[in-house]
Each structure stands twice: as C-alpha cells, then as structure tokens.
Chains A and B, each alone.
Chain A
Amino acid sequence: GAGVSQSPRYKVAKRGQDVALRCDPISGHVSLFWYQQALGQGPEFLTYFQNEAQLDKSGLPSDRFFAERPEGSVSTLKIQRTQQEDSAVYLCASSPRVWEDNEQFFGPGTRLTVL
C-alpha cells in the first residue's frame, strides 16, 4: 500500500513568512509524529498525535510552531514568522498502534529553506 507522503517536498520561504507542511500518514495508522532534522544531525522529536489528540508537543521549539490533525488522519505543521534557524528537513512518521506495533514509517520529508 501507499507509504507516508508529505507535501511540498521543498519549500523556500522569506524570513517572516508563514508556512504549512502537510503529512498524509499510512491509512489506518493511529500514531503520527513530526520530527525536525537539521543538516548532519539525527531527527529531533517535535510533536505526537494519537488519532486527533495531540498528546505530546514537548519538542516544539517555540510558540511559532503549531500542529494539528483534526480528523485523525492528515496532519499539518504550521510555522509562523519563519526564521533562518527553522531551515531543516521536517519529517512525518506514522505507526499502527502504540507499543506492540510501534515501528514508525517515515515520509520523504519537506526541506524548508528560510532566506
């Protein structure tokens, strides 16, 4: 079946612009995660949804970052008033359930460049 998809794949924004990044998880997957990956680093956790509930947003770096998953499927990560330090690859992952089936399947990512 289809994997996790993300759009756009590349986004260039001028500093101060708002951006919205979309994630389509694997159908039926309960859990959805967002990670931020800076160049040469491992992914870092941003936020987690179980169905439509955002259960953990401890990794969001500032209040400019906001995520939603209103119907428990597609998710959007929004960054307001982008800054140069927001430049990174934003990865979305989904997994079937918590714990027993908790391997996460990742999308291709959105590469955000803030000028």
Chain B
Amino acid sequence: AQKVTQAQTEISVVEKEDVTLDCVYETRDTTYYLFWYKQPPSGELVFLIRRNSFDEQNEISGRYSWNFQKSTSSFNFTITASQVVDSAVYFCALSELSYNTDKLIFGTGTRLQVFP
C-alpha cells in the first residue's frame, strides 16, 4: 500500500542552523512522483518541488536542497542557514501512476520552528 512517513513531528532550531526533514515512502509502483509542500501559519499549502521516480539527481534551489534515494525509499529535504520565515509545517507527498487520478498521499508533516 502507498504510504508516506515523516517520523519527525517537530524540530526546533536556531536561525542559521542547517536542518534536514526526513521523508520515507512506500509504493508498489515503479513510476511515481514525490513532492514537498510548505504550510505556513496562514494555512495555505505552497508547492516546493516535484521529483519523478526516474530522476534521482539531487536538486538545489537557493537554501533548499533535496536528496532522493530510491534504494532507501527516501526523499529528504534540507534547509541551509535556516531563517525565521522558514517556520512552518512541511509535508512530503506521493503520487502514483494511475489512469484515473493524480491524488496526493501526504505524510503527517514536520513542524519546523526557527528561533531568532
């Protein structure tokens, strides 16, 4: 069955620290997409990244980077030099190839608090 696990419920760091958010997924499909979304206190989910199952290259976007490893079914997210504005709940999600839906299966989220 499809499942996304974010074992870290809450992480607190001081500004400028690096922080890694873990995501482990389960799927029977060989073709799938993985996503990260940010949910700030305002509540609106903000899309951060999409990665398909055939592309294991790591990606960097500014202070954000993602490490996709199929061998361990993980898609971890690192924020370098964290800032207070990074405080939010971060969700990892999985979407499988299906003829009738692209639904997202979300993890339970990791709440990140960055203190000044």
Give the contacting residue for B102; candidates A31, A40, A108; CB below 8 A: A31
Report the number of A-B residue pairs with Cβ-Cβ less than 8 Å.
62
Is A2 at the interface (CB under 8 A from chain B)?
Answer: no
Give the contacting residue for A99; candidates B93, B102, B104, B105; CB below 8 A: B102
Residue of B nearest to A89 (CB): B43
Q: Which residues of A contact B78 (CB under 8 A)?
A: none
Subset of 23 A-B contacts with CB under 8 Å:
A31-B102, A33-B103, A35-B104, A41-B109, A42-B91, A42-B107, A42-B108, A44-B106, A45-B105, A48-B100, A48-B102, A55-B101, A56-B100, A56-B101, A89-B43, A93-B45, A95-B102, A98-B102, A99-B102, A102-B33, A107-B44, A108-B42, A109-B44
Sample of 10 more A-B contacts, CB < 8 Å, known A41-B109, A56-B103, A99-B97: A42-B4, A43-B91, A43-B106, A48-B100, A48-B101, A93-B45, A103-B35, A106-B44, A106-B45, A109-B43
Pairs of residues from A and B, 8 with the lowest C-beta to C-beta distance, nearest first:
A42-B106, A106-B45, A56-B101, A45-B103, A55-B100, A48-B101, A102-B102, A108-B44
